[in-house]
Amino acid sequence: MIETSGVIEKEQGNGFYLVTLEQPAGHQCLCRAAGKLTKFRIKLLAGDKVLVEISPYDLTRGRITYRERNVGPGGGRQGGNRPGGPRKR
């Protein structure tokens, strides 16, 4: 398996995503989310940076194995399901 990183361009429907890879530069492949991502209901959106496994036999198909956290200038989400962050004790 070849493992590389990329960015999701758009959702194709039926669980497939069009991903533009960083190595080789500009290469696009059609990817599905791995079983653990669907099991734990990890949401994948356009613009997310992901790790992709590609078979050396078919470079046009792949599997998304990891979504990197998007940490913005505010430090990301404050945690938990609570709108205000985790419970204060």
As for how many domains the chain has, the answer is: 1
Measured distance CA(36)–CA(58) in Å, rounded: 22
pLDDT, residue 69, reads 82
CATH of residue 48: 2.40.50.140
Q: Does residue 53 lie within any of the structural domains?
A: yes
Q: In the chain, which ranges are continuous DSSP H helix?
A: 35-39
Predicted pLDDT of residue 33: 96
Helices then strands, each counted (H, E), the chain: 1, 5
Per-residue model confidence (pLDDT) at position 83? 55
Instruction: Tell me the per-residue pLDDT of 14-71, one tens digit each, with 9 for 90 and over.
Output: 999 999 999 889 999 999 999 999 999 999 999 999 999 999 999 999 999 999 987 5
pLDDT for residue 82 is more than 70 = no
What range does the domain containing 37 cover?
Answer: 1-65
pLDDT of residue 16: 97
Is residue 73 in a domain? no
Look up residue 56 and give its DSSP letter: S
pLDDT of residue 19: 97
